[in-house]
Amino acid sequence: MPTLLYVRDLTTDEATKIEKLAHSRKEAARLVQRARVIRLSHQRYRVSAIASEVDLSEPSVRLWIKRFNDQGLSGLHDEPRSGRPATYTSAQTSVVIEAALTKPEALGLPFACWTLDRLAAYLQEERDIGIKRSRIDELLIREGLRWRMQETWFSERVDPDFAEKRGPSSRSTRRRLRVAS
């Protein structure tokens, strides 16, 4: 038979915070659930009763009680998880953002605005950072930056030689005949 496990004696401050957290509607649901585990254990509910009350497994209930007993309120928060390390360093990320915010003409490049392909090519050739255009887009969005169209029909074109390069205009629609009244 497993030994009985209860939460340690709570300080007045801890009891107040646990009670408030257990009834919170704004905190993360997992944190509220863990606070409920501690509150019920403080009220001397057994692990099996707590597990059925908060819809957790008994080993999970034991884990959160033990972590709270060892670490206090900070033990209820998630610990950092393992995972794949970052592909690009913070220095490389800052170079990408700095390049995106710099006008290409200032870097001596023959175009007036960036595209993701141009930026990726520049970073590969000049800065030796092999990065895909989709990853550049993710980094810029995370920084709150978005691509915008620089050429419009209503303002000056970025390319001053556009009309010569385009060639003569051709009529794509026929003229409408006027009806005599």
The predicted-structure confidence for 25-68, as pLDDT tens digits, reads as follows 999 999 999 999 999 999 999 999 999 999 999 999 999 999 99
Task: Report d(CA 108, CA 125) in Å as an integer.
Answer: 14
Task: Report d(CA 35, CA 109) in Å as an integer.
Answer: 58
- Which tens digit of pLDDT belongs to each residue from 125-179? 999 999 998 999 998 888 888 776 555 555 555 677 776 777 666 666 666 667 7
Domain ranges of the chain: 12-76, 85-143
Is the full-model pTM beyond 0.75? Answer: no
- Which tens digit of pLDDT belongs to each residue from 63-94? 999 999 999 999 999 888 888 887 888 899 99
C-beta separation of 67 from 75 below 8 A: yes
Q: Is the dihedral of CA 126, 131, 134, 137 positive or negative?
A: negative
Q: Which residues, 6 or more positions from 74, have their beta carbon under 8 angstroms from its beta carbon?
A: none
